[in-house]
Every structure is written in structure tokens, then in C-alpha cells.
Amino acid sequence: MHHVRPSLKLYKPFLFNWVKHASLSPILSHTLHKAYLPRQAKVTPTVHDYAGWLKGCTHSLSLHKAHVIHADIVDNGLEFLPIVGSALVNMYSKCGSFEDACKVFDMVSVRDVVLWSAIIVACANHRHAEKGLHLFEQMQLEEGIPLDKQLLTYAVKACAGMRALEEGRRTHIIITKQGLEADEFVGNSLVDMYCKCGSLKDAHGVFDYVGIRDVVFWTALICGHVESSLNKEALKLFWKMHEEGIKPNRITYQCIIRACSSVETMEEGKKIFADIVKLGFFDSHVGVDLIRMYCTFENLNDAHKVFSVLNAQDIVSYTVLITGYAEQEHGEEALRLYKGMRKGGAKPDEAIFVCVLKICSQLGASQEAQVIYFDIMSEGLDSLLCIKQSLMDMYIKCVSLEDAFALFESFTIQDVVSFSTIIAGYVLHGYDTECLKLFEDMQISRIQPNEKTYTSILKACARLKKLEYGKHIHNHLMILGFESDVFIRSTLIDMYAGCRRVEEACSIFSEGSDVVLWNTMMGIYVEHDLNRQALQLYEQLCHQDLGSSYVTLLWLIKACSDIEQGRRTHTLAVKQGWTNK
């Protein structure tokens, strides 16, 4: 009987369907590896057949199938062809194997624009921006490789990922030469790149050049301003976008809500929130940003309301709200939230543990801290340096300095934070001599002190009356440029005053522009029975229009030596609303 040999055309739809949808049973994998239908039919698949099957694998994201088909391609000696190489690179990239994609690319000696595009896109998708940019530059050295819109766009994205401004500008020049700068897709990638590289002037230049600007363009520019902490400018762009009839999308709202980070933007923030709810854009991501916004406004009630309506109260939302309560000195409520989080099954991370340990330190809540430490150990985070440092701070303030120092000595890595914390602890408990010894150990270890360290050392110098030591620290601070820091200056003033060098303290004060310095100097005058100078200093403060504080009033009361001055001070207290304190 005569048998008709089937045509491969009959099998192609079946094979493509199988590659796209079939399960990965060993039998089917083995069958495909032998290319069972074409081989039984004694028909050899073409390059285009393999390209189609590879495309099917990219849809199913099956790396196992990808390797099976690749092996058959190698058996047929087709892996060196650019069309097959680009299909393999795309497939491996979409299957999650960037390493395999690079190996295929390296094996193909003759590369066309499709293959170059495939590997550069793979670099972008797998966040290998540096390699992608290097390949783009390498490609430009090849003769006869045209630069198309897609290639240039991904090159710009690579520059954005690396924050490589100069390389981005060079790519921009190529885009301009190709006449693609006004293209909406390319232009948007340029705006995004310049924003991420911190060059908002260049971003505005592209934005203004492109005629048609959609919501993606506007959002890229707005987000760029938010990332650069130019929140007022971001809000201006947002409202201008409204004026031009462009409707914000979900990403625009997620970005702009972060710009509402000051009391001045409170009303705008509330209006934007109302729009978010109205448009149905409220989700957990927006919710977290709203909680953060209300915490910034010191409006913890509304922050808690937003938190309570979230569908998923995860670790991120808990962390933001707990941190908000902690910053507003509502530590007990923050700890209640932490307990609720644990009952709800949310898994804390090191950030939230550091936060609640700090709260325990502020409240002197040693028992709660012990429970939290058990939680830390159960999560296996007790060996982290940031956890140990927070625990040490809690021991200093709630338990004992001995326990804190024992923990400090157990650290395998003793950095500036560890040293600064234990030094501050010794100063807090009045062990000034030991504090200076620790400072010397820190210097021997070649660890550069920070502002907190120097503040503690200056306090110790003041109490020990170590003027020369304090002067040495002062000179060092001047070299480092720390002297302009308000708290450093305030501590220097206290140090000189503590060493009974009021004139030197006055020379450092020199009419500082911060009310903290004025209060420090007034306090020194009062403590040294120089009440007249304290009152004169207050009169100068009034002329400086820097305002005053409750601390100012306390020093004024102590400085009053006659009834008339007392009446003027009382009038000030009433005016400032301090009489209820």
C-alpha cells in the first residue's frame, strides 16, 4: 500500500499549540527533543519554523521547553544564524535566563540589527543597564547596523538605569541626528532619563520641544521633580497639566501625592486625595503615600483612618503609621499598633524593629522592649548590626550601662553609630572620663566621628573643665566644616561657658540666626548671673524677628530683677499663649 508522506504544514499548528500550551511531562519533552512529528515525517524544520516555536516558548515562559528546542536547533546546526539567535535571545530573556541569552548572543558572529536589539532589550528588562549601554556603544562600531527607534529608546533607558548623564546626552545627539527627538515614545524616554539623572533643565528642554504631550510625558516630568524633592514645582506642573486638559492616571496620582509633604500643601493634598477616591485610584500604594502625607501634616487621626480602610494592612503601611506616631511622640499608640500588627500576622522587618526599640528607649519601657527582642530573635534578625545598636541604645536608657557596654563589646563590627551611641550613653550617665577614653579608642580604630560623637565629647569637656581638650575638638570641627551646624555651635557655646570662658562663648554665638543659639546664650548669661546681658540679648532677638520659644520665656523669667521687667515678660507670655503651660 502506498503511504503519503505528510507535509510539515500539517504539523506546524499542532507544534506551535503544543509549545504554547502543553504541560511539561517528561514524555512530551523527550518527544519534542527528538522533534518527533517532523522527524517521523522525514521533514526538516526551517529556520522560520524554529522561530515560531521559540516565540511560543516566550509566551509560556517555560525555560525547560526553551532548552529542548535550543538543543534541537544545535543538532541542526542553525544556532549561528542571526534570525535564530535573536529568537533565542528573546526567548531566554522572557523565560528569565539572562545568562543563557548572553551566551547565545556571544556565539553568533554575524549580528544584524534584530539581534543587537534583542540583547539590548534583554539587558534593559533584566536591569543590566551598564552591560546594555556597553553593547549599544559596541554596536555603533559595527558597520551597516542601522539605529532604529526601539534601539535608541532602550539605550536611553540604559542610561537612565545607570544615571549616566553624559552617555545619555551623547545618545540624545544621535537621536536628534536621526530626526527622532520629536517622536512621542523616544521623547518620553529622554524626559525620564534626564529626570533620573537629575538634569531637570534638559528634561524641560525635551518636554517643551515635543509638540504632542500625553499623560505619560507629564507624569515623567512630574515624578522627576518629586524625586528631586522639588515638590512645589511638581504641584505646579500637576495643575498646569489639568489646565491643558490632560487627565492624570494612577501613576501620576501615586507620584503627586508624595509631593504633598509640608503643611503648606495640606489643602492641595486633601483635594488630590478626593480626586483619587472619586476616580477609583485608591489602592494600597496610594494609601501608604496618603498615610505618610497625613503623618507629615501631624494629622494622625486622618492617617489612621486611611490605614483602617486599606484592604491589605501590610508591613509597609504599618511601618509608615508606627513611624508617624513615634515622630509625633505618641509612643504608646505606636506600641499598640505594633502589637496589633503581630496579632494580625504581619511579619516585621528590621526597620520596624529599630523603630519600636527606639520608642521603648524614649518611654523607658524595658519590659515591652524585652518582648520585642524575643520577636526579633524569632525572626532571626538579632545578629543585624542596626538591631544591636538600637538594643544598645535601649539598654543605655532603660536597663543599665553595663549591659549596653557588654553588647557593644560583642559587636564584630564597631562603626561610627555604635561608638557614638555608647559614648552618648556614658555622657548621659555622667561617666565623662570614660567617655573620653572611648573616644580615643574610636580614633585608634580609625573611625571618623560624626556630629553626635562630637556633641557628646564637648559635653564631657564642659563638665570636666577640660578647656584645652575642648579647644582641640573645636579646631578639628572647623577643619571639617561642622562649626556651622546649629547643635554643634550650641554645644561649643556650652563647653566654653562650662569652662568659665563666657567671652569665647560669645564669640562663637555672634548673633546666630537660629533661636536655639539665642536661647543657649541667654541661659549662659543667666547661669553666670549676667542678667542684664541676658535681657539685652532678648531685646536684640526681638529686633532680629526670629521669634521666640517657651525656653526663651523661662530664661527671661529667671533674668527678671525688677517688677517692670517681670510685667513685660508676663505680657510676652500671654501674647504667645504660654500662660496655660
Q: pLDDT tens per residue, the chain (581 residues)?
A: 444 334 434 344 444 444 444 443 343 344 444 444 444 444 566 666 666 666 655 554 467 777 777 777 777 777 777 777 788 888 888 878 888 888 888 888 778 778 888 888 888 778 887 887 788 878 877 766 777 788 888 888 888 888 888 888 988 998 898 888 888 888 889 999 999 898 999 999 999 888 778 898 899 999 999 988 898 999 999 999 999 999 999 999 989 988 887 777 888 888 998 898 888 888 888 888 889 888 988 889 999 999 998 888 888 999 999 999 998 889 999 999 999 999 888 888 899 999 999 999 988 888 898 899 999 999 999 889 899 999 999 999 887 889 899 999 988 888 999 999 999 999 999 999 999 999 999 999 999 999 999 999 999 999 999 999 999 999 989 888 887 788 888 888 888 888 888 777 777 776 555 666 767 777 777 777 676 666 666 666 665 554 555 556 555 656 665 555 556 655 655 555 545 54
Residues 341, 466: Cα–Cα separation, whole Å: 49
| AA letter at 312 | A
Q: Are 377 and 383 in contact (CB under 8 A)?
A: no
Residue 220 has which C-alpha cell?
515623567
Helices (H) and strands (E) in the chain, counts: 35, 0
Put simply, whether the predicted model's pTM sits higher than 0.85 gets the answer no
Q: Which of 515, 513, 518, 514 is nearest to 505 (CA)?
A: 518
Residues 286, 253: Cα–Cα separation, whole Å: 8
Dihedral class, residue 346 (left if φ above 0, else alpha if ψ from -120 to 50, else beta): beta
